[in-house]
Structure 1
Amino acid sequence: MPVLKDVFKPILGGELFHNRCAWHVLNICVQDGLKMVEDIISPIRSAIYFICSSTARQQDFKRLCLENDMKSKHFPIDVPTGWNSTCHMLSSTFGYEKLLSAFYNEYIGSVNVTYLGEEDFNQAKTMVEILKQFEYATNLFSATYRPSSHVVLPRLSVIKVVFF
């Protein structure tokens, strides 16, 4: 950018003349998009938080897994600043949908809370398919020691296809 500033002599001493990082812009877009689909993510997140917030519930879930001939599972918890942690959290539930639903719904049966159902996991699978495309692009764009600007447009075109 310093070389370009010398060549183009931008106004205001080049204060507004800088290159946005495609990785950063993509991450901001994904974070904003996740806010729009919070109602899809929230039921599964609530179930995972519910299990992970109590050692007794973790043990009960482990017992349920073993009773159903499944390996016990510890689900990762997502963090607000890392959208990819939401992708990992959702994908970690795949294969455990019925157990997670049965466990969570049995515990919250007496409480006025939304039940966790098959449709929640179907929507989560769609979300993960989309987020995996963004995760791949983010890894591609975040190159430090090699140029990456030439891969931005082709990868964004692939992401566009996922939505249509």
Structure 2
Amino acid sequence: MEQKRFYVFTANGATTQYHRDLKGCLSHKITDNKQKQLDVNEGRVESEVAIANFEYNHAKYQKISCNTPRNDCISTFELEKKKLKTMLGSVNRVSLTTDFWKSEQKIGFMCLTCHFVDSNWKLQKRIINFCDVPPPHSGVVNSDAIFKSLLDWGLENKVCTITLDNANNNGAAVRILKDVIKRKLMLGGKIFHVHCCAHIINLLVQDGLSEIETVIENVYESVKYLIASEARLIKFGEIAKQLQLPSKKLILDCPTHWNATYAMLVAALEFREVFPRYKDRDAGYNWLPSNED
């Protein structure tokens, strides 16, 4: 604890001595500088005053370096990875799903998920890799990134299926992976069927949707027309409110999400009584689904 100091009050009101001592007073610095800059990026406190504040108010406070939390995170990751490797060691086959996208900083990332049935016959899924993938995202680059992860986890001889987006580079990646894995497995005399499910799923979905292509087009254009204007949405919402319908939102189909068409139709079905009433109020709306639709 700092010793108390006494100051003489002068008749002329001079405070020079007071201000001089105040500048060197640690307690004053702690109180006056609580918002000193903390170096968040490096994970350590740059302000000596803030450190002194922690030490003063918390008897058990211990200063740590920025490497301590980093090492703790890495140790936890390695421990959990070891547990997952042990679990995957008892699995005969796994299925993979992966996706590639770009961040706002234009950095390409890959997320690789492993799906398998555990010893209790429960379906499990685990992300086994999330990493940046340098451009160009060709079939060779994508296949290299996936196969590197398989080697890291010891899954190169356990792949049953691979599901990716229906893109040309992903199709090429699957063909390359199939050849690489087969060549490797031939040496051990054990070959699983490796194929891309996305294209097959897409063909099945598109074939089914073709039966109601006109209906989907009308609903899609209706939703697109309505959400393009806030005034239209307000008018549409007022009609829904008059009919005492639940306050749900319209959903527009997204080409990159294969289940988005279903979500759009389900949402639109809730407002099937609203669309014809809206048509009576907006002559520019030309995609009204029929009663049969």
TM-score (norm 1): 0.55
Q: Which residue of 1 aligns with 2:234?
A: 59
- Contact (CA 8 Å) 2:275, 2:288: kept in 1 or not? no
Which residue in the other structure is 1:117 paired with? 290
Q: Which residue number corresponds to residue 33 of structure 1? A: 207
Alignment of structure 1 residues 120-135 onto 2, 5 Å = 120=293
- What are structure 1's unaligned runs of at least 5 residues? 11-16, 121-164
Aligned partners of 1:30 and 1:83 also within 8 Å: no
> Which has the larger helix fraction?
1
CA distance in 2, matches of 1:44, 1:100: 10
Q: Which structure is higher in strand share?
A: 2
Aligned residue in 1 for 2:261: 86
Deviation, structure 1 residue 4:
3.0
Q: Distance in 2 between matches of 1:60 and 1:72?
A: 14
Unaligned runs of 5+ in 2: 1-156, 158-180
| Larger gyration radius, structure 1 or structure 2 | 2
C-alpha distance in 2 between matches for 1:83 and 1:9: 34
Q: What residue identity is the alignment partner of 1:6?
A: L
- 1:80 is displaced (CA, Å) by 1.1
Q: 1:116 to 1:28 in 2, by over 3 A?
A: closer
Residue 9 of structure 1 and its aligned partner are, at CA, apart by 9.5
Q: Which amino acid aligns with 1:87?
A: Y
Measure, in 2, the Cα distance between the counterparts of 1:46 and 1:107.
Answer: 17
Are 2:178 and 1:5 aligned? no
- After superposition, the CA RMSD in angstroms is 2.9
Which of the pair has the greater relative contact order for Cα pairs under 8 Å at 6+ separation?
A: 1
Tell me which amino acid in the other structure corresponds to 1:117: S
CA distance in 1, matches of 2:240, 2:287: 23
Q: Return the alpha-carbon distance in structure 1 between the equivalents of residues 268 and 255 of structure 2.
A: 19
| 1:116 partner letter | P
User: Does structure 2 retain, via aligned residues, the 8 Å contact 1:62–1:73?
Assistant: no
Q: Which amino acid aligns with 1:32?
A: Q
- The change in CA–CA distance for 1:27 and 1:99 in structure 2 (over 3 A counts) is same
| Aligned residue number for residue 251 of structure 2 | 76
1:21 & 1:114 partners in 2: Cα distance? 37
Secondary structure (helix, strand or coil) at the match of 1:118 reads coil
Report if the CA contact (8 A) 1:76-1:89 is conserved.
Answer: yes
Tell me the alpha carbon deviations over residues 30-78 of structure 1, each in whole angstroms, 9 at most, x when there is no partner.
4532663432310111111111111001111111111122233311111
> Structure 2 length as normaliser, TM-score?
0.33
